[in-house]
Amino acid sequence: MTSLDSSVTLSGQYARFGVGLQLRDVPHAVQTRARHLILDAVGIALASRGYPYADVSFAAFSEFGGGTSPVIGYGRRLGLRDAAMMNGVLIHGLDFDDTHSRGVIHSTASALSCVLALADRDAVSGADLLAAYIVAMEVSTRVASAARGGFHDAGFHPTGLVGAFGCAVAAARLLQLDEARAAHAQGIVLSMAAGSLEFLEDGAWTKRAHPGFAAASAITAATLAKHGFTGPRLAYEGRFGLYASHLGKPLDAADRELASEGLGSSWQIDEVAIKPLPACHFTHAVADAAMALHREHRFSAESLDSIRRVVARVPRGTVEIVCEPVDAKRKPVTAYDAQFSVPYIVATALLKGRFTLDELEPAALADPAVLALAARVDYEIDPDTTFPRHYTGEVVVERSDGSRVAHREAINRGCADRPVSNDDIVAKFHANAQRSVSRSAAEQIAQAVLQLDERPARALADTLAGLTAS
């Protein structure tokens, strides 16, 4: 194998970190949070069970034949990469999974899908699975952060595009590759990583598949590297590397520093935001602001005539995703459309005081009062935003009598500076999981996840593979 200078290349730095990390070097609180992030993902996967996108995906992957790798909640197993793809669909399908705010990436969906499949197949310890998961999270969040939101601006979805690189390092670790081969795995996955934002134009399902594609690509890339296949040395900073090819320019010195800052000494897992609402994270602040106004002023369908106009103030960097085109956002056709619609979410939250998975059902999408109010929701650019550090938002209700009421959320709920507790995550897990399985089954899986590092990885896989919808 070609040697690589790990002190110079980003792929070498990530390889050294990924191969060399010992779980005992990770602070206890970070390990605990990581297990709770995994628990959150598993609960969402169970809630996804039975949705059309999930059953269609499972039917498609089943055509490739059975296997030994666990699929969450389906009571059956698939081949290694098919299971990784399927679990990615389940975890990300409801757009309820965690988000790294600065990187604007859903990292757990790909990370867990990748390491669960490999850890089960190779019968590693639960501690090894947890360490590999942490590796994937720490790498992917840094790779995404260095782009400073540029991937979205260029039309790429970092969850799929960047997730593949974090997974490649984690897969290399689980396959016990040396640093050189772990670096080559990243170079190989450069030619496989993908994720287009075109789904935003028509509500297509492709976004749901991106984390699974990332996980499966990483498994392939690391396995090729294991057998001696080589990848480009400068996977990230090269003339045709990740940043130059997807952003149109290479990294500058400051961004390159951001890509490796604190690797192995500070922990981006602490910066991962849990979603309290099943919608694009960019909408959460205005949703919470609208719910606060509902609680204070008791807006409802009966008071619709008293509302002349609603203004949602959002960060400029979110407009193309959750506010435009305005006419389409005001009349979402599918649940996915609704999850990326500031007008629909604000109108729902103002009138109902909530935004749950039930608000994504067909009957809710057709609610005449909500649609009537959504037609009156406009957006403005938030002049005081701290995006992407925080996903800020403000809602102003202009009443028919000329009065105005407003509420601002300067820090979105669930982010690192306004975190939800681990107990809150457990509660969210149970709410999601029990849409699909019994309480006793949910308690069984929670115990398996939260004691992950004390058991073989296969114990968790067996629990997940054995669960079926009640």
**140 and 18 in one domain?**
yes
For 99-146, the DSSP string reads: EETTTTB-HHHHHHHHHHHHHHHTT-BHHHHHHHHHHHHHHHHHHHHT
- The answer to whether 285 and 391 have CB atoms below 8 angstroms apart is yes
Q: Which two tokens stand for residue 469?
A: 């919808």
**262 and 291 in one domain?**
no
**337 and 317 in one domain?**
yes
**268 and 288 in one domain?**
no
**31 and 116 in one domain?**
yes
Is the pTM above the cut of 0.75? Answer: yes
- What mean pLDDT do residues 345-354 have? 98
Residue 415 is assigned to a structural domain of this protein? no
For residue 425, pLDDT over 70 is answered with yes
The model's pLDDT over 46-79, given as tens digits with 9 standing for 90+, comes to 999 989 999 999 999 999 999 999 999 998 999 9
For residue 469, pLDDT over 50 is answered with no
**360 and 386 in one domain?**
yes
CATH number at residue 390: 3.30.1330.120
Q: Give dist(CA 399, CA 235) in Å, integer.
A: 55
**290 and 172 in one domain?**
no
Helix (H, G, I), strand (E, B) or coil at 457: helix
Helix (H, G, I), strand (E, B) or coil at 161: helix
**pLDDT value, residue 7:** 58
**298 and 194 in one domain?**
no
Q: Which residue range(s) make up the domain with 305?
A: 281-409
The model's pLDDT over 367-411, given as tens digits with 9 standing for 90+, comes to 999 999 999 999 999 999 999 889 999 999 999 999 999 999 999
Residue 88 is assigned to a structural domain of this protein? yes
Helix (H, G, I), strand (E, B) or coil at 456: strand
Residue 422 is assigned to a structural domain of this protein? no
**380 and 334 in one domain?**
yes
**214 and 143 in one domain?**
yes
Residue 416 is assigned to a structural domain of this protein? no
190 contact partners, CB below 8 Å, separation of at least 6: 165, 231, 232, 235, 241, 242
Residue 236 is assigned to a structural domain of this protein? yes
**243 and 183 in one domain?**
yes
Residue 147 is assigned to a structural domain of this protein? yes
**372 and 442 in one domain?**
no
CATH number at residue 41: 1.10.4100.10
**Total structural domains within the chain:** 2
